[in-house]
Amino acid sequence: MLLSHYPEIEKELALIEEFIYKNVRSRNRLLNETVSEIVQSGGKRLRPAFVILASQFGKYNRKKVIPAAAAIEILHTATLVHDDIIDRTKFRRGRVTISEKFGVDMAVYVGDYLYTKAVLLLAGNVPEKRWVFLQKA
């Protein structure tokens, strides 16, 4: 992560980074190792930065913004894992891809796991009455 790119929201991005690490952990050793490796590979974290900046146009609520921003970044990471499978990419961000290092099956599992984590984090911000509506859609 390149916090120096966003000095005005550096503190918030650090909280998001910590939140991501805590929320993608798994009891499965191999999955945990794999997911940790992806998260630690960093990136510019543009999406969480946009979430923070956009949230400041209204009444800023850190308890809602941090999980939402983390979820967006986790979702993006999941799409990258799956994209690497489709494109048969060997390297991403200067590191061997999950599909190259652990195989396609593990990469699919990791991508799906990250998708699930992102949806669960986003669901935590949705009031129950809206979930009832979404379930009927």
Report field, pTM of the whole predicted structure over 0.95? no
Q: Is the pLDDT of residue 17 over 90?
A: yes
Q: What is the pLDDT of residues 43-100, one digit of tens each?
A: 788 999 999 999 999 998 999 999 999 999 999 999 999 999 999 999 988 899 999 9
* Terminal Cα distance for the chain, rounded: 37
Alpha helices in 1-137 (DSSP H): 10-23, 29-40, 46-55, 62-87, 98-102, 104-123, 128-136
Domains of the chain in sequence order: 3-136 (1.10.600.10)
